Amino acid sequence: MPALEIDDLRITYRGSRGVIPAVRGISLSLEPGDTLGLAGESGCGKSTVAAAALRLLPPGTEVSGRIMLGGEDILTMSFGRLRAVRWAGASIVFQGAMHSLNPVHRIARQVAEPIVLHEGVSTDAAEKRAIELMAQVGLPAWRARSYPHELSGGQRQRVMIAMALACSPQLIIADEATTALDVMIQAQVLALLEGLVADRNIALIMISHDLSVLAETCARLAVMYAGKLVEEGPSHEVFGHARHPYAQALSAAFPTVGDPAERRNPHGLAGDPPDPAALPTGCSFHPRCPVVMDTCASTQVELRHARSDWQAACLRVEPMAPAQPAMLAEEKHD
Ligand SMILES: Nc1ncnc2c1ncn2[C@@H]1O[C@H](COP(=O)(O)OP(=O)(O)O)[C@@H](O)[C@H]1O
Ligand code: SF4
Ligand SMILES: [Mg+2]
């Protein structure tokens, strides 16, 4: 059973800034142990998807489609069940989550809190587990007695990862979880997260604007633009050989480390993402697209399979020919 299955998710915020269609029909599926990187410029809807997966959106937000977490329907479940699922089913580590640690409580107590709450064990037993978890994220046991201000930023973000792991979730969403850390610490925290999800067969969605970080950590990459997925496929393909011009520009904006030719010529992308309240017609990337065609402004473009495991939403992508019944029959006899 998939750890997470999102089907045609649409999310519209309504507020003082008017009607904002932040997510416009996204489908994703992750099996246990799968790692998916979700990329795109600021404002394309990444955090909105993450918040929706745990029903953390502000009241009044319109949501349609389906979100199944370990076979349970997140959008229709009771509040009681939802409380149990947040931590034990799935947990999110946000950017700057380390600032949400309570300054007056010792670390062990804070890591133990969700364990006491969800598993009904004693505080002592939960704190013992908390210390074990801290060891797994590379924090020495004596740090358990520290207060948050006594830890560095990297150590506090490790504490947040320990908390995310505390109740053995099937899914972790890391939303720009390492963006605020310096590059060396970021690499350590990413390697740690990668190892932990692999050991425990946890599904991981890692969100970042930095495609190169995602490509190193995740097996698959999905690129969002203006509330939609514009490309989804194996990381090494999407990062190096993207089919969608936006995904191409995004990967070219992060040159390969140590490649002097690329460093001289980073292909940034001019302009800003569109205002979600006033989206361009047709392919919403057309005003910025370097290879735009006459038909792009008037044609709705959906994801199409460039290969069975690789999709892109661009009219220039040749869709894969549908499999012929004869071929399918042959495959069955193989
Ligand atoms: N609570 C909210 N109310 C209204 N609009 C919002 C809210 N949160 C996000 N948005 C808008 O939704 C769009 C997507 O935002 P977000 O999901 O945060 O993007 P990302 O994480 O990719 O930067 C943006 O235009 C943003 O301004
Ligand atoms: S559909 Fe047209 S505008 Fe959109 S990405 Fe492809 S070529 Fe560019
Ligand atoms: Mg965000």
pLDDT of residue 71: 93
Domains identified in the chain, total number: 1
**261 confidence band (pLDDT: 50, 70, 90):** very low
Please indicate, yes or no, if residue 246 is contained in any of the structural domains.
yes
Global pTM value: 0.90
Contact 113, 127 (CB under 8 A): no
Please indicate, yes or no, if residue 302 is contained in any of the structural domains.
yes
Q: pLDDT digits over 11-57, tens only?
A: 999 988 889 999 999 999 999 999 999 999 999 999 999 999 999 99
Helix (H, G, I), strand (E, B) or coil at 251: helix
Please indicate, yes or no, if residue 332 is contained in any of the structural domains.
no
Mutate to test the pocket of ligand 2, among 223, 269, 285 (most ligand atoms within 8 A of CB): 285
Protein residue whose Cα sits closest to atom 20 of ligand 1: 43
Question: Between β-strands 62-69 and 35-39, what pairing exists: parallel, antiparallel or unpaired?
Answer: unpaired
* Residue 195, domain CATH: 3.40.50.300
Give the atom of ligand 2 at the shortest distance from the alpha carbon of 289. 8
Q: Is the CB of 15 under 6 A from ligand 1?
A: yes
- Distance, in Å, from the CA atom of 47 to the CA atom of 28, rounded to the nearest integer, reads 15
Give the atom of ligand 1 at the shortest distance from the alpha carbon of 57. 1
pLDDT of residue 327: 55
Protein residue whose Cα sits closest to atom 5 of ligand 2: 314
Please indicate, yes or no, if residue 136 is contained in any of the structural domains.
no
Residue 185, domain extent: 4-104+147-326
Please indicate, yes or no, if residue 58 is contained in any of the structural domains.
yes
Protein residue whose Cα sits closest to atom 2 of ligand 1: 13
Ligand 1 center to 1 CA (angstroms): 31
The one-letter amino acid code at 83 reads R
> Percent of the chain having pLDDT more than 90?
64
- Distance, in Å, from the CA atom of 279 to the CA atom of 286, rounded to the nearest integer, reads 11
Q: pLDDT digits over 272-331, tens only?
A: 889 988 999 999 999 999 999 999 999 999 999 999 999 999 999 999 887 666 655 555
Q: What is the 3-state secondary structure (H, E, C) of 132-182?
A: HHHHHCCCCHHHHHCCHHHCCHHHHHHHHHHHHHCCCCCEEEEECCCCCCC
pLDDT of residue 235: 97
Please indicate, yes or no, if residue 278 is contained in any of the structural domains.
yes
Q: Which of 119, 192, 124 is closest to 162 using CA atoms?
A: 192
**264 confidence band (pLDDT: 50, 70, 90):** very low
- Distance, in Å, from the CA atom of 34 to the CA atom of 204, rounded to the nearest integer, reads 6
Q: Is the CB of 59 under 6 A from ligand 1?
A: no
Helix (H, G, I), strand (E, B) or coil at 43: coil
Ligand 3 center to 64 CA (angstroms): 20
Q: pLDDT digits over 78-128, tens only?
A: 999 998 898 789 999 887 777 789 999 999 999 999 899 888 899 999 999
Q: Is the CB of 12 under 6 A from ligand 1?
A: no
Query: Residue 46 CA: which ligand is closest?
Result: 1
Residues lining ligand 2, Cβ inside 6 A: 244-245, 283, 285-286, 289, 291-293, 296, 301, 314-316
Whole-angstrom CA distances from 124 to 113, 127, 130 are: 11, 5, 10
Please determine, for residue 147, whether its predicted confidence score (pLDDT) is greater than 60: yes
The one-letter amino acid code at 245 reads P
Please indicate, yes or no, if residue 22 is contained in any of the structural domains.
yes
Residues ≥6 apart with Cβ < 8 Å to 263: 255
Query: Residue 249 CA: which ligand is closest?
Result: 2
Please indicate, yes or no, if residue 118 is contained in any of the structural domains.
no
Contact 95, 175 (CB under 8 A): yes
The one-letter amino acid code at 103 reads P
Give CA angle at 205 (204, 208), nearest 5°.
135
Task: Determine the straight-line distance between the first and last CA of the chain, rounded to whole angstroms.
Answer: 26
Higher pLDDT, 188 or 43: 43
